[in-house]
Structure 1
């Protein structure tokens, strides 16, 4: 446990120059723009039109206010953003104990529900480099704006006039090297978005908390975390373990895959 705590503390104190030096780059040659990639700098590019039918077949519905399932995500959105000023930026992490709980579907629906309000720009990003969930949902990044330093790829998608920016940290998530360095890179990027890109809502689709070392550290940099539990796949022990890892982060529980007439 002491080793984990020490690594997390290093992640919080490592500078970007420290990380690049460890990876063979001279810090004097690194500029701030190399690290920070504005996710909205491609606003002049056309958005890729998505099929509403395909999304609904994958249970992504919140772009359609008339769909009866959208109400649940609108209520979730309202509860999360009620205290947030229209000109503010907020980071929302969505995670689960293990794979199979529907984290990506919940994150995508939340992003579209927020985007329908049109008060904020919405960035839906995944750090789960080992999961093809975004591709299965049809939300792969269509236009890429990447940086060797940050590893973030961002594009735009649109369905029924609802626009969402979609991003992937997959290159960071699966890269070899120091875990603390990955944490520091993502944390620095999130801090820059928080301070320089408002009003923005960032919805992060994180890898499972119980199987990935990155998720807890990134969730700690969020304003709030959603813990998605899957009926039939999550246990009480999973819940307690995850809540213990989120003690420093405000969080809410989402029960997913519940049936209409009970569990």
Structure 2
């Protein structure tokens, strides 16, 4: 347990200099350099029909997006109160909708112009974000960025000038080895320093499918667990919470795929 605590403390200390994560020994970039880095990212546009097809309801303000927007606000408040910047999203098993939730949350964040956010795809065995966004395969994957082979701008897609998405087109077999590699911390710190996102969301693999999430857990400040109604058991949630709590902060559990909601759950009258 002492070794785990030491690893967590070291990972956080490496990225909490003056409140702006950056590689050890480097100087913070000026604000205009940060803006220039964002402006250099390839620009994409949301396809409304494709968003609806993949249940990404948060691309515009609507009664359907109210639940996601409420979750966004609560997450931002909790992360601000704790000085957290990195959020992992996982699930106990496959099919719980974690990637859909992660993308909905990121798109909801893009509608707040004063917040810069990143969504980085680390479900390396089953990447899906490019398909959901309707983006043609990039010449390089985000895994190439993680390995330090290419610059983030060669892979990223930028929406509305304040949301950057790191994508993969191919599967990665040695995912846990890559995510626990010695250079992963510095690579992520370099991204933080170059783009200074207010929040970075990591779309992670299911917890109980492989050890990828546990291999990466010390790199994030908190984690959100997505459970599916009538699919995820209480025991599976408990196992995930206990294992993750030894590595990082568990923000909470989101129950997805609820078919029956009372009238009190709707906020359409605000529209």
TM-score when normalising by structure 1: 0.72
Matches of 2:255 and 2:161 in 1, distance apart?
A: 26
- Give the one of 37, 61, 65 matched to 2:57: 61
1:228-256 CA-partner distances (Å, limit 9, x unpaired): 00112211111011001111323211000
Q: 1:106 to 1:151 in 2, by over 3 A?
A: farther
- The counterpart of 2:111, out of the listed 103, 108, 116, is 116
Matched residue pairs, number?
A: 229
Q: Contact (CA 8 Å) 1:183, 1:218: kept in 2 or not?
A: no
Pair 1:233–1:199, CA change in 2 (3 A)? same
Find the partner of 2:221 among 201, 205, 223: 223
Matches within 5 A, 1:1-263: 41=37, 43-66=39-62, 68-84=63-79, 90-138=85-133, 140=135, 147=145, 149-150=147-148, 154-158=155-159, 161=160, 164-168=163-167, 174=172, 176=174, 179=177, 182-195=180-193, 197-247=195-245, 248-261=248-261
**SS of residue matched to 1:174:** coil
Paired with 1:196 and 1:250, the residues of 2 have a C-alpha distance of: 27
What CA RMSD, in Å, does the superposition of the two structures yield over aligned residues?
3.7
Farther off after superposition, 146-155 or 94-103: 146-155
What's the CA shift for 1:120?
Answer: 2.1
Specify whether residues 143 and 73 from structure 1 end up closer, same or farther in structure 2 by C-alpha distance, changes over 3 A only: farther
Aligned CA distance change for structure 1 residues 200 and 89 (closer, same or farther; 3 Å):
farther
Q: CA deviation at 1:226?
A: 0.7
Deviations 1:132-166 (A, max 9, x none): 421331254657585483367532243xx575211
Q: TM-score, normalised by structure 2?
A: 0.70
Note closer, same or farther for the CA distance 1:258–1:76 as it changes in structure 2 (3 Å cut).
Answer: same
Greater CA drift, 217-226 or 229-238: 217-226
